[in-house]
Structures are given as C-alpha cells and as structure tokens.
Amino acid sequence: MEQSKRGPRRARGSVSRNRVGNWQVRYTDPYGQRRAAGTVQRKVDAEQALARVLTAIENNTWSVLDDTTADGLDPKKVTLRQASKLYTENRVNRQGRALSWNTAAEYPRLIDRVLTTLADKPLRSITSRDIERWWSNTYQDTPAQASKAYTHLKSVMKYALKRRWIRENPCDIEGASNYRPPVEPETPTDTEVALMLELADQPMKTVLALAAHCGLRKGEILELRRKDLTTEEAPEGTSWLYVHVSRAVVWEGENNPKVSPPKTPGSIRSLAVPKTGGAEQVLLEHLQAIPEQPLPLLVSRDQA
C-alpha cells in the first residue's frame, strides 16, 4: 500500500567478488532494503541470478524466501552439508580475516562424522524434533563432539536464516553449546614442571619452558624466531629476557605452513620470562645453540 503511494521503485543490484574469490549478489528489494542473493563461483552465474531477481521485482513476482540462490543451488533444496560449505567459505572473524585452516577443516569433519544423519537433508526439512533426536543419540556416546557439532549446526542455521533460506532456526536446545567435562584436566604442579624441564631434551625443553612459564600456545611457540627474544635492562639494573609474540603458525596438510597474526589483537604481546622456575636459563642456553641471524626459528616442528 505504502509503496504504491510513493510510486514503484526501480530495481537495482550489483555483483562483487568476496575475499575468497567467489561472486556475491546484492540488490535493493521493493521496500528499499538492501539484500544479499547468494554467492556463486562464476561471475556469469552471479549476473544471471541478479537478472532473475530484478526481473521478479519488476514483474511483482518477487518473494523474500525464494529470491536467493546458494552457489547456483535452489534454496529450497540446499542441504546442511552444502550450507555448511558456503558458511565456511564466506565466514570471517571480527578482524575481517578468513578462518584458519584448522577451523575450516574442522567444520567438514563435524558434518561427516558427527552430524551424519542430518548432513544430506535439505535445511527446510530439518525440524527441532530431528535435532533433538540427533542430540539425544549423539550426546550419550560423545558429549564433547556433540556440543561442538551443535554449535556449528546452530551457526549454519543462523547463516541460512539471515539469507532467508529458512523461516526459523530450529536449534533451540538450551545449554547444548556449553559442554563442560565432568572432570577438568589437572594443571601440572611447579614440581612436576621442574621435573619435566630436567628430563626433557632440546628442543622440547624450550617448548615446555615457553608453554609452562610464559603461557604461549603451540602455534605461537613454533613461529618464534631468534629476533623475537630480546634482553632488556630494567631501571634498577636487572637484566630481563623478553619474548615478543606477534605471529602464529598452522599447517595446511603436512608441509604447508600458514603464518598469520595471533587469534586476537590482545594476543600480540611482550612477556618477561620469570626469574624463577628455570625457564630463563633454558632459553638462554638454547639461544647459544642456534644461528645468530634474526630469522632462524627458535624451534622447528620437525624437531619438536
């Protein structure tokens, strides 16, 4: 009614390339709202999808649930597996970076091995009861995996709802994403850490010192280079060894390391190595055993 008083809007849209090289379709609906109309691999498919949407708007046959395409697929038939793939390809973190290789590989594993009974069902046919039945059966045997898979399932459904592929998110099991193991793993005592440092050989001794006394993650430790360890003198004359963390590494397969900033901006940090516990001595001794150039790795994954 309101639209007819203002006169018809001219349908407008665009196609553009996203961060992973696919083509995204966007348009303005008859009410002036900007919408996405799916992601496809080829520009020609994106242009055709946009043309179909604009024609539907001009002919007054457009409807919000049927206007989208999902990588050239009919949204009414998009399966959980297909939606998960599109979600993984297009998701970025809060810093605008694509998912790490490890995370991108984890989602298909959850679909294949944990969400097996739902994987190939069309999204629109998956009901809350289907999810409850899957959850009940899976949680009994592998509660931690069930919780991780449910979290991914809920995110994919939220992604699909935002794109109007489904009418509502069927994931409504309270607490399903918040699994906590009944027994938390014990943290080694100072005595146990000291014993490990005493018995370990290099370079594992360096890995243990950085993890136990500096709180570094595996990917951060294995990307540290000689230049990232510096000695600085405090005003009172005490010399301190500092570890500067600004990068982390993951592996795409066995032989393809991917170096990037740490997971969050707060993870870029400089840490003073404690004077107690033996970590400082371990690191100083190790520095004497590696080349003096700034770029050699402190620890090689092949060695560790």
Helix (H) or strand (E) holding 232: strand 229-233
Residue 183 lies in a domain: no
Residues pairing with 258 in the sheet: 250
Residue 297 lies in a domain: no
Strand order in the sheet with 229-233: 229-233, 239-245, 269-272
DSSP states of 3-43 as a string?
A: HHHH-PPPPEEEEEE-TTS-EEEEEE-TTS-EEEEEEESSH
Say whether 52 sits in a helix, a strand or coil.
helix
Return the CATH number at 15: 3.30.730
The number of domains in the chain is 3
Residue 147 sits in the same domain as residue 234: no
Distance CA 72, CA 166 (A): 17
| CA dihedral sign of residues 59, 65, 71, 77 | negative
The per-residue pLDDT for 180 is 83
Residue 301 lies in a domain: no
Residues in the chain, overall count = 304
Distance CA 210, CA 187 (A): 15
**SS percent in the chain: helix, strand, coil, step 5:** 40, 15, 45
Residue 179 lies in a domain: no
Residue 247 sits in the same domain as residue 205: yes
Residue 217 sits in the same domain as residue 274: yes
Residue 261 sits in the same domain as residue 196: yes
Residue 255 sits in the same domain as residue 196: yes
Distance CA 119, CA 83 (A): 10
Residue 70 lies in a domain: no
Residue 266 lies in a domain: yes
Residue 219 sits in the same domain as residue 281: yes
Distance CA 277, CA 188 (A): 13
Q: With CA atoms as reference, report the closest residue to 304 among 233, 202, 217.
A: 202
Which of 42, 58, 74 is where one domain is finished? 58
Residue 64 lies in a domain: no
pLDDT per residue as tens, the chain (304 positions): 344 444 445 668 888 887 767 788 888 887 777 787 777 778 888 888 888 888 888 877 776 544 455 566 777 889 999 999 999 988 876 666 777 778 888 999 999 999 999 999 999 999 999 999 999 999 999 999 999 999 999 999 999 988 888 888 999 999 999 888 877 778 899 999 999 999 999 999 999 999 999 999 999 999 999 999 999 988 888 999 999 999 988 887 777 788 888 777 788 999 999 999 999 999 999 999 888 889 989 988 665 5
Distance CA 145, CA 153 (A): 12
> Can you tell me which residue has the tokens 């509502």?
168
This model's pTM is above 0.75: no
The per-residue pLDDT for 5 is 45
Q: Give the C-alpha distances (Å, rounded to integers) separating 186 from 181, 251, 277.
A: 12, 28, 19
Residue 32 sits in the same domain as residue 119: no
Which of 58, 74, 103 is where one domain is finished? 58
The per-residue pLDDT for 65 is 46
Residue 102 lies in a domain: yes
Residue 38 sits in the same domain as residue 99: no
CA 6 vs. chain centroid, Å, equals 45
Residue 89 sits in the same domain as residue 54: no
Query: Which domain does 14 fall in, by range?
Result: 2-58
Residue 203 sits in the same domain as residue 157: no
Q: Give the C-alpha distances (Å, rounded to integers) separating 240 from 77, 245, 275, 282.
A: 62, 16, 8, 14
Residue 210 sits in the same domain as residue 279: yes
